[in-house]
A and B are shown apart, each in its own frame.
Chain A
Amino acid sequence: MSTRWRFYLVGFLLLMAIDTAAQLCFKLAATHAAPFAVDPGWLLRVLREPWVYGAIAGYLGAFVTYMTLLKHAPVGPAFAASHLQVVSVMAASAWLFGERLAPLQLVGATLIVLGILVLARAEDEVAQTTAGHAR
């Protein structure tokens, strides 16, 4: 496995883990602060939710990871690949909130993973034709 491959693999898996934790915190904060209204009361309810600070911490960690990835990866494919968190958020929601998974959702999750594998192959192809410059 090349260095660039290991960098992408570790980077995107780390990003997925941190992003998933942040999204779960987001959902818990939004649920507890409902109903939504454009007023200071709603904002105060959100700020009193401990979960929102978990989401902020997760966002900071994901930020550092993502900026490090972006230094080398093109933004289009990198942003698409960051949607791997949809699969992990879905799995975590089923496990933690008891949300039921439809067969179509499992097909969708498979397509996302497949798409990321295709993007990984695409990076090999681009690296070969442009002598290592990720564009």
Chain B
Amino acid sequence: MPPISFALWLLVLVFDTGGQLAFKAASGVPGEGLDHWRAMAVRPWLWLGIAAFACEFVTWLAFLSVVPLAEGVLLSCLNMAAVMLGGRWLFGERLTARRLLGVALITLGVVLVGVG
């Protein structure tokens, strides 16, 4: 992989994982509907997630300009393991056998779609 593609891929991984974890932190505040959005808006997590998301938007677009869509999707499937581990570490989400099997099947499926 050319250095520019590798650098863009690494940035996508960092922004994607960080953004997912920030969004989960944001969504945990109490409230329903508009009240929920108001509660999220006055805390930093939602904005941190949006910042990561905006950075990912640009890097993902740049990444897709240098690699085919299928290859781009293939390389981004490491993000799933990173988010799973982050969810356990930060939010105490359980890594049950069924969840691990489900995520493993999805990851393998994404890999096969990418190389197929």
Contact = CB atoms under 8 A, between A and B. Distances in A.
Bound pair (A, B): yes
Interface residues of B, number: 52
Contacts of A35: 65
A50 interface: no
Contact of A36 (B23, B40, B66): B66
Interface of B: 20-21, 23-24, 26-28, 36, 40, 53, 57, 60-62, 64-66, 69, 73, 77, 79-80, 83-88, 91-96, 98-99, 101-116
Contacts of B53: 59, 63
Interface of A: 23, 26-27, 29-30, 33-36, 38, 42, 46, 52, 59, 63, 66-67, 70-71, 74-77, 79-81, 83, 86-87, 89-90, 93, 101-119, 121-122, 125-126, 130, 135
28 contacts: A26-B61, A36-B65, A36-B66, A42-B65, A59-B53, A67-B23, A74-B24, A75-B91, A76-B95, A77-B84, A77-B93, A77-B99, A79-B80, A80-B83, A80-B102, A83-B109, A86-B109, A86-B110, A89-B69, A89-B73, A106-B116, A107-B116, A109-B113, A112-B106, A119-B98, A119-B103, A122-B102, A135-B92
Nearest to B105: A115
A121 B91 CA distance: 21
Main secondary structure of the interface of A (DSSP, over half): helix
A118 B61 contact: no
Contacts of A114: 105, 109
Main secondary structure of the interface of B (DSSP, over half): helix
